[in-house]
Amino acid sequence: MTNNTLSLSKLIVFLLLIYFTIAQLEFFNKFFLKNIVIIIINYLICMYLIVNNKDGYNLKYIYMLPFVLFFSFFTFYSFGNNLFADIYRVNLFCSFFLCVFFLSNNINSVFFLKKHTINFYFIISLLIIFDMFLFFITGRVFLFNVMIYITPRFIGPFYDPNFLGFIYGALFLIVYFERTYNKLYGITFLICTILSGSWIVIGLLTLILIQVRVFSFRYTFLKPVICVFVVILFWFVYEYLLDDVYFLFKYLVGNLTHLSEQLIDIKFKSLEYRFEVTNMAVNLIIDNPFGYGYRTITKYLPLDTHNSYLGISFEYGIGALLLLIIPFFMMGINRSVNVDSLTSFICFMALFLNVHYLPIYLFFVITVYFPFGEKRLLY
């Protein structure tokens, strides 16, 4: 490998580390800096592939290229009003494949990126917990934001407390199953997950840990199919048992939170609206399977679907949906317990949150591609 290629490789790894860490923070998102970084990363990886080709580049993942081309073809028909944002979204999904091309020949970079990314979020987690103690002592936070919604929900330096829960829930699974990290990492990540106040994250994390410990059967390669099936099944059950669902919701929420009946009705109505929006989104996707463009979903619908599968299908068409779930099919080659749990968590969280917006989503995809402690996986 030439000095120029080595320097280019180090630059790409450095930018990836920035993207996985500080690009996740709200101020980076506010000024669209994360958009610029991922576009530059993809451009540099393409340069690296061209320059390093003469050195016998590993084409283990060459079969992914048709999917990228197929997706690119679809996106030509779905550019919305914000061309720069559209280009960013295209680059984000292409990065799922380009980064694997690059990292498969720089395997040590995978472990470097994972180590420093986890250490970065560990430091952030300590700051969040410190802020939590200050909040309970003084009644206000000093470093980050807190949302008072039934109970205090800590946001940290992120856009939403649900994102805080998703990030630290997934990080907890990584360090929990790898067992090479100090237990303090797992404890702090779990505390931050709880502080997010996201019952979806907490409940899903609990179910996954139970599933992993009780059942030995691994079905990672079917996760995307199972997720979509669960959504369809849940939709029909919800429609058929609407009155019973309302009674159960009213009973559980009323006993757990002691909300008034009026507030419970408002909460349930919000949930009901989300299902109605989902139905509307599906019909619009059928009308235009090529997509409507970047974040156009709220221009056509009264609410966001909060669903990565529907959101990407709506914005960039069925081709983009395939690009979202294909990496998880490929991850199914390795059915280890850590891969199974993390893949479950990511796929199911995509049903409840638009987690594909998050820069760290790419980090979790790569982490599952290159399972923990298996340095010779690709060779």
pLDDT by residue for the chain (379 residues), tens digit each? 566 667 888 899 999 999 999 888 877 776 678 888 888 898 888 888 777 655 455 555 555 555 566 556 555 555 666 667 777 777 887 888 788 878 877 888 888 999 999 999 999 999 999 988 888 888 787 887 777 766 788 888 888 888 999 999 999 999 988 878 888 999 999 999 999 888 889 888 988 888 777 766 666 556 666 666 766 676 666 666 666 666 666 666 655 555 556 555 555 555 666 677 888 888 888 888 888 877 788 888 887 888 888 888 888 888 778 777 776 666 555 567 777 788 888 888 888 888 888 889 989 888 887 765 444 333 2
Residue 17 lies in a domain: yes
- Taking residue 354's Cβ as centre, other Cβ atoms within 10 Å add up to 23
The two three-digit tokens of residue 182, written as one number: 């100090």
Residue 251 lies in a domain: no
For the CA atoms of 219, 224, 226, 228, the dihedral, rounded to the nearest 10 degrees, stands at 180
Residue 262 lies in a domain: no
Instruction: Report the DSSP beta bridge partners of residue 156.
Output: 145
Question: Do the beta carbons of residue 12 and residue 49 sit within 8 Å?
Answer: no
Q: What is the pTM of this model?
A: 0.81
- Taking residue 54's Cβ as centre, other Cβ atoms within 10 Å add up to 9
Residue 168 lies in a domain: no
| Closest alpha carbon to 20 in 198, 193, 174, 181 | 174
Identify the pLDDT of residue 379.
27
Instruction: Report the DSSP beta bridge partners of residue 151.
Output: 149
Identify the pLDDT of residue 377.
34
62: containing domain: 1-105
Residue 331 lies in a domain: no
Residue 96 lies in a domain: yes
Identify the pLDDT of residue 124.
94
C-alpha to C-alpha distance for 378 and 237, rounded to whole angstroms: 43
For the CA atoms of 284, 286, 288, 294, the dihedral, rounded to the nearest 10 degrees, stands at 60
Residue 38 lies in a domain: yes
The amino acid present at 299, given as its one-letter code, is K
Question: Do the beta carbons of residue 241 and residue 259 sit within 8 Å?
Answer: no
Residue 15 lies in a domain: yes
Alpha helices (H) along the chain? 3-20, 26-30, 33-52, 65-75, 83-103, 107-138, 161-178, 183-195, 199-214, 223-240, 242-257, 261-287, 297-300, 308-331, 337-352, 359-369
Domain count, the chain: 1
